[in-house]
Amino acid sequence: MTNNWFLPALILVPFIAGFACWLVDKIDQHLPRYIALAGMLVTLVITIALWQSGTYTYELGAPTPTWSAEFMVPWIQTLGINIHLAVDGLSLLMVGLTALLGVLAVGCSWGEIQKNVGFFHLNLLWSLGGVIGVFLAIDMFMFFFFWEMMLVPIYFLIALWGHSGANGKSRVYAATKFFIYTQVAGLIMLIGILGLVIYGYLMTQTISFSYNHLLAVANALDANAQTATIAYGFMICLFIGFAVKLPVFPLHGWLPDAHAQAPTAGSVDLAGILIKTAAYGLLRFVIPFFPVASAQFADIAIIFGLIGIFYGAWCAFQQTDMKRLLAYTSISHMGFVLLAIYAGNILTFQGLMIMMLAHGLSSAALFIMCGQVYERLHTRDLRLMGGLRSQFQYLPFFLMFFVSALVGIPGLGNFIGEFLILMGSFGKFPAFTILAAVSLVFAGLYGLILIHKALFGAPNEEQKQHYTSPLKDLNAREVVILLICAFGLLWLGLYPQTFLDVSNSSMAWLANSYIPVQEVVDATQQVVSQQNVEIQ
């Protein structure tokens, strides 16, 4: 194996750039912005170079994923811990999304953040570096390290630069709530990881956190009828760790508050990138590690996902705060993630890939637009808006475009992702799929409510006193940021094959590791039911 230094560079560049932002803050308040932007652009260029140089093929029947590039350096050898990074089609696209949204997050905070600019960009870039580490680390200790590390910068982003609520305490409350939820979930996930390591030692007399080693250990536990209950328990531990971050109903309590109080760049980080790490974890670890247990748990997981779809949509109807409305739409859309993962075939996995990319772009763009509206109107309350269509030239167009993308208009990326998921899952779960399809009507309704309250009607008389006269339309920087998101969504919607080709090898391996086991579980259930009939 030849070490590819691009992989550690993807993590180190945001870390080093963030630290440099903090150091130069006293010299010039504007310099940290340029350093942060340069750091994320370099990260994006490295990702594109990996895309161009890598080969993404699938070896039929391979026991482990086929990595396009790897980097491994021994670290704590006594405990079997290595700095082991690897990239395949799944992780490459997630890293690319992180780098692109990182550039946009720096851009949208250009005028918003005016205090402690260097420390702000330190936290923003370190959270992005931690997320990239999650996508690249395949040593489970390194994965858990990055998983926990990225929480601290996001806590500071919300607590220090978030929007003040009642008595100025809401942002600290929201940050603390986010941290407690995710920290507790991380500790539960750690129980599952350490349980696998201990069982691996009992089986092989070797302590190792290696992905391939723990994959073999988990598969052995999962396939053995005597240890299947233990495997199921470990699977639940990992599932809870990822479900809180996704978030899955009823573990979603941190999300609306965190979104509502976070600065714009923090919301882009949370909605566009952070919740994607949970879907990635379910795909990378839960499904291939515990295919039998996952197949047994599929109905329960999908039911929770469907409850989340309708609950998120219903709560979105009730919101008057623009940001909270969008936060609940994220909960609703993440229900499709569980349906896609546990339906477990190549169509749903590929649809999930497109949906994660499209949702990342559309939700990030909408949260950026929330910041732009707030900057001009000094409110996010939809009851105090109205008539914006007649007061701006560019802003109404972009708001309607991205709301259309979020609700799944054909021709944009979200539609392709949802269509592939529904088409792929119908054969396995027809009733659940029909219910999920019905929920798309609700998505259209809350999208129309948002557009109607913000753009149409007469301007609110109470709010007019806060307006600058006349209201300033989007400037060139803001238009460029939104155009990048719009172009990405059009590319995903009109030519998704570009991305499907890259992720196909990873998704084919995942589907191959999951589908045969589902067939075995189905056959076992049929035999048991036949025996029960004969006994009766």
Q: Token pair for residue 152? A: 């601290």
Residue-level pLDDT at 524: 45
Q: Where does residue 42 rank: exposed (0-12), middle (13-18), buried (19+ CB within 10 A)?
A: middle
Residue-level pLDDT at 531: 43
Residue-level pLDDT at 94: 93
Amino acid at 279: A
Say whether the peptide bond before residue 32 is cis (omega within 30 degrees of 0).
Answer: no
Q: Tell which wins on pLDDT, 121 or 529.
A: 121
Helix (H) or strand (E) holding 160: helix 151-161
C-alpha–C-alpha distance, residues 24 and 6, integer Å? 26
Nearest to 335 by CA among 419, 279, 415, 412: 279
User: What value does the mean pLDDT take over residues 218-226?
Assistant: 83
Helix axis angle, 430-455 to 395-406, nearest 10°: 170
Tens digits of per-residue pLDDT, 384-397? 777 777 777 888 88
Nearest to 85 by CA among 11, 170, 186, 163: 11
C-alpha–C-alpha distance, residues 121 and 113, integer Å? 10
Which phi and psi angles does 348 have, rounded to 5°? -70, -40
Phi-psi region of 135 (alpha: psi -120 to 50; beta: other; left: phi over 0): alpha
Q: Tell which wins on pLDDT, 36 or 271.
A: 36
Tens digits of per-residue pLDDT, 247-266? 888 888 888 888 888 888 88
Q: Tell which wins on pLDDT, 160 or 147.
A: 147
- How far is C-alpha 72 from the chain's CA centre? 26
Tokens 């919101």 — which residue?
319
Angstrom CA distances, 360 to 101, 254, 270, 277, 343, stand at: 8, 19, 10, 11, 22
Please check the confidence at residue 346 and state whether its pLDDT lies above 80: yes
Please check the confidence at residue 375 and state whether its pLDDT lies above 50: yes
Residue-level pLDDT at 457: 67
C-alpha–C-alpha distance, residues 248 and 185, integer Å? 12
C-alpha–C-alpha distance, residues 335 and 342, integer Å? 11
C-alpha–C-alpha distance, residues 289 and 235, integer Å? 8
- Residues ≥6 apart with Cβ < 8 Å to 495: none
Helix axis angle, 476-494 to 89-108, nearest 10°: 160
Nearest to 68 by CA among 534, 529, 528, 509: 509
Tokens 């979200």 — which residue?
414
Amino acid at 256: P
- Residues above pLDDT 90, as percent of the chain: 30
Q: Token pair for residue 333? A: 């859309």
| Local confidence band at 240 (pLDDT 50, 70, 90 cut-offs) | very high
Residue-level pLDDT at 226: 81
| Local confidence band at 527 (pLDDT 50, 70, 90 cut-offs) | very low
Residue-level pLDDT at 103: 92
Choose the most confident range, by mean pLDDT, from 61-75, 452-466, 505-519: 61-75
Choose the most confident range, by mean pLDDT, from 49-63, 123-137, 222-236: 123-137
The single-letter DSSP state of residue 54 is -
Which phi and psi angles does 449 have, rounded to 5°? -60, -45
Least confident of 116-130, 206-220, 458-472: 458-472
Q: Tell which wins on pLDDT, 521 or 93.
A: 93
- The SS3 assignment for 276 reads helix
Cβ atoms within 10 A of the Cβ of 53, count? Answer: 11
- Residues ≥6 apart with Cβ < 8 Å to 294: 235, 286, 287, 342, 344, 514
User: What value does the mean pLDDT take over residues 201-215?
Assistant: 88
- Residues ≥6 apart with Cβ < 8 Å to 369: 395, 398, 399, 402, 482
Residue-level pLDDT at 315: 86
* DSSP codes joined into one string, 15-31: HHHHHHHHHGGGT-SSH
**Residue 321 pairs with which residues in a beta bridge?**
381
* DSSP codes joined into one string, 140-155: HHHHHHHHHHTHHHHH
The single-letter DSSP state of residue 80 is T
Residue-level pLDDT at 395: 84
- How far is C-alpha 110 from the chain's CA centre? 24
C-alpha–C-alpha distance, residues 389 and 274, integer Å? 32
Q: Token pair for residue 172? A: 């600290």
C-alpha–C-alpha distance, residues 92 and 414, integer Å? 20
> Long-range CB contacts (< 8 A, 24+ apart) of 213-217?
213/80, 214/140, 214/289, 215/63, 215/64, 215/288, 215/289, 216/63
Residue-level pLDDT at 1: 55
Q: Tell which wins on pLDDT, 298 or 388.
A: 298
| Local confidence band at 533 (pLDDT 50, 70, 90 cut-offs) | very low
Please check the confidence at residue 136 and state whether its pLDDT lies above 90: yes
C-alpha–C-alpha distance, residues 487 and 358, integer Å? 11
| Local confidence band at 101 (pLDDT 50, 70, 90 cut-offs) | very high
Q: What is the pTM of this model?
A: 0.90
For all residues of the chain together, what is the average pLDDT?
Answer: 84
Residue-level pLDDT at 43: 94
Residue-level pLDDT at 528: 40
- The SS3 assignment for 230 reads helix
Tens digits of per-residue pLDDT, 430-441? 888 898 888 888
Residue-level pLDDT at 47: 93
Tens digits of per-residue pLDDT, 483-514? 999 999 999 999 999 899 888 888 888 888 88
Nearest to 491 by CA among 110, 93, 204: 93
| Local confidence band at 60 (pLDDT 50, 70, 90 cut-offs) | low
C-alpha–C-alpha distance, residues 95 and 277, integer Å? 10
What dihedral angle (degrees, nearest 10) is formed by the CA atoms of 343, 349, 350, 353?
Answer: 130
- The SS3 assignment for 250 reads coil
Q: Token pair for residue 273? A: 């990138």
Dihedral sign from CA coordinates of 200, 202, 208, 212: negative
| Local confidence band at 468 (pLDDT 50, 70, 90 cut-offs) | low
